[in-house]
Chain A
Amino acid sequence: MRRPPYHSERRGPLEVKMTPMIDVIFLLLIFFICTASFQMPEEILPTRFLLPGTVASETPIDPEVLDLDEIVVKVLWRDGGPQWQINDRDYTSLAEVRAVLEAAARIKIDLPVILDVDPSVPMENVIDVYDLCRKVGLERVQFAASVAA
């Protein structure tokens, strides 16, 4: 029985079996169906914790003086809504808080910010303030803990 030569340059049209190809397509389809998730992609907000033994000494804060050594932002929860206090001055909107933080950032960009959050404040508002500090450029944000160390 004569067979066509296999190492010749002239080959006929390609004869491909479709069955395995269809198998692969089905497999890929099933893979993508199983792994499809309609969640929004997650991002992270990093924090920088100060460990005990590395905390700088506390300096008293004079709220009137512009030359600040650190800012204390208190987030309170009153009447089902958040309220903010920066160095003991009350603010009722996040935009005002942002303005104060931007002003402080213009003076000193590496100003330490201490976030003192009321226990009943939802994480949404906590992250709002923390995100605001990061947006304004203040990277040194610490969370005040009300637990005896």
Chain B
Amino acid sequence: MPVKIAICIKQTPDTEARIRIAADGQSIEEEGVSWIISPHDEAAVEQALQLKEAHGGHVTVVALGPRRVERSIREALAMGSDAGLHLVCEPMPADASVIAGALTKALRPRGFDLILTGEQAIDLAGSQVPQRLSIALGWPCVVAAETLSIKGRMVQARRPAEQKEALVRFALPGVVGVNRRIGEPRYPSFKGIMRAKRKAVEVDVAQLAEGRMIIERLHYPPAKAEGQVQSFGSGIEDTVARLLAGHIDTQV
């Protein structure tokens, strides 16, 4: 059965990027930052493509944010997604509930069977968008999925939680937030990149509610005192052994 899939991606700074706090003290300096598709979301794109390859269907990449976000949409198109939807806003909202609200408004009328997201974005780590989408739409939702398959209208996903694990099943439509461990995303092929240039990206204005999670101040974590790094045999191993022994049976 072909599935109509929306995959919501967030553009975030590269994991390796140096993060500098901007002069306003509430946002980060964007200059010089290289942007990527947030890793869990990128893995969700891969899952969407695999489902399409197995069952047929259509994959729409959805991203909310300023102009720069279009590059990430093109990247997901180059991987093999069929169409793009860019919900434009500037700046990026800091409150994840605002993002989820705008996505809900855009996705509801478009009639998707399955909405995929990453379980969290690596920038603000809000960890709530898939659940909010599902509740706003009245659909079932599983997050942190590490496997995902579809049979007919039934979705099956495995989700670990600490030392527990469950395999859950629900009928479409539904929302799945995936973990990167579900599988590494493919690289776009040269052909894919060329094709992506001709694919349609619909541009719409993001309908944003007022943010209620307000970042009052950003600061750097307190600098750590420089560690003691020495070669084995210098006596450092005794210091470490005493420290470890001191922690045995003591509660913190």
Q: Is chain B a partner of chain A in the same complex?
A: no
